Structure 1
Amino acid sequence: MTITEKLERLKAIFAEMEQALIAYSGGVDSTLVAKIAYDVLGDRALAVTAVSPSLLPEELEDAKIQAATIGIPHQIVQTNEMDNPNYTSNPVNRCYFCKSELHDTLKPLARELGYPYVVDGVNADDLHDYRPGIQAAKERGARSPLAEVGVSKMEVRQLSQELSLPWWDKPAQPCLSSRFPYGEEITVAKLQRVGRAEIYLRKLGLKNLRVRSEGDTARIELPPEQIKEFVLTTDLPQVVSAFQEFGFIYVTLDLEGYRSGKLNQVLPIAIANKG
């Protein structure tokens, strides 16, 4: 199926739905879904963003701006996954409890507002990664049009560019809880210090990055090709000072560089130990 055919199939899916509530994080995947849904359904499509301590404030602002640019109606709801010890203990299936909370919030909201479908931005590539949250969404009846049609992450960006969405190349930004090694307890204070650290680095002009947190140590991950320039041109003592103000004691730089899902490399061991 060509990418043009995939786009037409996505439009047909929404036409068949007639009304849809979009689980809208503001990331490139869910924003593409929101755009197509609005193009087909107009005001019969609703984008809903869930807010919790694991969402960067700047990501919420981006979501608002993007929804306004598209024109889709946009609502914000609060989720309370931080009240669930199954989530905050940070097990290997943490995302299952996060998405359970999300869809346990969105499903009754959709029913109340008269939307027969809750739709997310899961793409075809996500199905081949370790993503326990997908199961939680399926159990609650959510649909994933991008995955249903076989749209890959690369095609999400291609379609976004073809539809003139200015954020088509926006870096992936999973929730802040993904910055912690499995088994380390997640707290609001820890999420806030990681979020502040990443915002600080972005203000230095860095885009595609992560600040991983383990105990009192922050580990900065940058694209490998940017590491040398960062070391040579950045006021490193100032970075250390800023991070220590945020609550870290030690600040390190990952020499391997940024790699999406890096913390998942321990999963086979963690899952085996759990079993």
Structure 2
Amino acid sequence: MDSVLQQKREILLRYLQGLGSVAVAFSGGVDSSFLLRSACDALGVSHVLAVTARSATYPERELREAVALAKAFGVQHEVIRSEELDVAGFENNPTDRCYLCKNELFHKIRAVADRHGVAEIAEGSNLDDIGDFRPGMKAVAEQGIHSPLRAAKLAKAEIRALSRELGLPTWDKPSFACLSSRIPYGEKITREKLRAIDEAEQLLLDMGFRQVRVRHHGDIARIELPPAEMPRMLESWNAARVNAAFRRLGFTYVALDLGGYRTGSMNAVLGK
């Protein structure tokens, strides 16, 4: 293992040991999976609780993977309901939507942690998240939630490298964000839109595309793929299959974004 990565890993483990016991906000993604495994290594599974929030913005495929991984770690795992659409103002999709979501989520995780006698709560944001628009970080600060990966100055690429060293199946898992992030700010978030986005992305994943986003612009579906995957999408049979399937989901037009996949593309309109 690279010496710098080893040093950061040791800093992370010492940080986690200092918590005594911890409830990890666990989505099953790259960051939270690495954090959960590290917490188990630092504290032992008896002092760690994984908490996963189930909602309309979180696909069932992600939940299944989270449940399977927590079981593999041997850690106690609770799946709770934290329905963002029930939070006042969330469905209106304001620019601080993520704050509303995280504020509700951490309050619920706190209740679970208290019930289990767990002292602290940790979430999986990393060093790269500091430079992005992340209103959810306000809820992290307000509620005293720990961010151990940021404390250890671990960036996404380093987390992937360390996850690979540890043999975690998530080391090369595509990045994921909640389905609400596919809808432009100010456009109402509904269960119907979320369901259409989920089914559209699942189709693309089933076709073998790995990193996908389907952005919902009313009757237009805007597909984001890494540039290397675009040529396969443009093959006539794939294009026809996707177009037909998306139209059945309620989209009139289906577009491939030539800018390719990028995180936070909906933030491009902010400040304009």
Conserved 8 A contact 2:209-2:229 = no
**From 25, 28, 33, the counterpart of 1:26:** 28
Distance 2:73 2:38 in 1: 9
In 1, Cα distance between the equivalents of 2:246 and 2:153? 41
State whether residues 119 and 143 of structure 1, in contact with CA within 8 Å, keep that contact through their aligned partners in structure 2: yes
TM-score (norm 2): 0.95
Which residue of structure 1 lines up, in the alignment, with residue 139 of structure 2?
136
- Give 1:238 deviation, angstroms: 2.3
Which one of the candidate residues 113, 120, 123 is aligned to 1:120?
A: 123
Higher mean displacement: 90-99 or 67-76:
67-76
Letter in 2 for 1:207: R
Tell me the equivalent position of 2:173. 170
| Equivalent position amino acid for 1:135 in 2 | K
Q: Structure 1 residue 236: deviation in Å?
A: 2.1
**Which residues of structure 1 form unaligned runs of 5+?**
270-275
Out of 6, 9, 12, the position equivalent to 2:8 is 6
* 1:42-57 superposed matches below 5 A: 42-57=45-60
- In the alignment of these two chains, the number of paired residues is 269
- Measured after TM superposition, the shift of residue 40 of structure 1 is 2.0
Aligned to 2:261, which of 243, 255, 258?
258
| 1:85 to partner: Cα distance | 3.8
CA distance in structure 1 between the aligned counterparts of 2:263 and 2:18, rounded to whole angstroms: 35
Whole-angstrom CA distance in 1 between matches of 2:175 and 2:91 = 23
2:232–2:238 CA contact under 8 A, matched in 1? no
Corresponding position of 2:164: 161
Task: Kindly provide the amino acid, as one letter, of the partner of residue 257 in structure 1.
Answer: G
Following superposition, the deviation at residue 138 of structure 1 comes to 1.6
* SS of the residue 2:221 aligns to: strand
Residues 102-121 of structure 1: pairs in structure 2 closer than 5 A? 102-121=105-124
Superposed displacement of residue 258, structure 1: 1.2
Q: Residue 133 of structure 2: SS of its match in structure 1?
A: coil
- Compare 65-74 and 143-152 and name the one that shifted more: 65-74
Q: Deviations for 1:45-103, whole angstroms, at most 9, x for unmatched residues?
A: 01110010000110111111121222222110000220124211111111000101101
Alpha-carbon distance between aligned partners in 2 of 1:23 and 1:156, rounded to the nearest angstrom:
17
> How far apart are 1:19 and its partner, in Å?
0.8
Letter of the structure 1 residue corresponding to residue 80 of structure 2: V
Percentage of identical aligned residues: 41
Helix, strand or coil for the counterpart of 2:89? helix
Q: CA deviation at 1:237?
A: 2.4
8 Å Cα contact 2:87/2:101 also seen in 1: no
The CA deviation at 1:261 is 1.3
Q: CA deviation at 1:247?
A: 2.1
- 2 CA distance for matches of 1:11 and 1:22? 14
Q: Distance in 2 between matches of 1:85 and 1:112?
A: 26
- TM (normalized to structure 1)? 0.94
Q: Does 1:191 align with 2:164?
A: no
Structure 1 runs of 4+ aligned residues shifted over 6 Å read: none
CA–CA distance in 2 between the matches of 1:24 and 1:226?
29
CA distance in structure 1 between the aligned counterparts of 2:127 and 2:262, rounded to whole angstroms: 20
Q: Alignment RMSD, CA only?
A: 1.3
Distance across 1 between alignment mates of 2:27 and 2:266: 22
- Equivalent-residue separation in structure 1 for 2:237 and 2:226 (angstroms): 15
Q: 1:148 aligns with which of 151, 154, 160?
A: 151
Aligned to 1:94: 97
Deviates further, 118-127 or 79-88 = 79-88
Name the SS for the 2:235 alignment partner: helix
* Residues in 2 aligned to 1:268 and 1:65: alpha-carbon distance in whole angstroms: 41
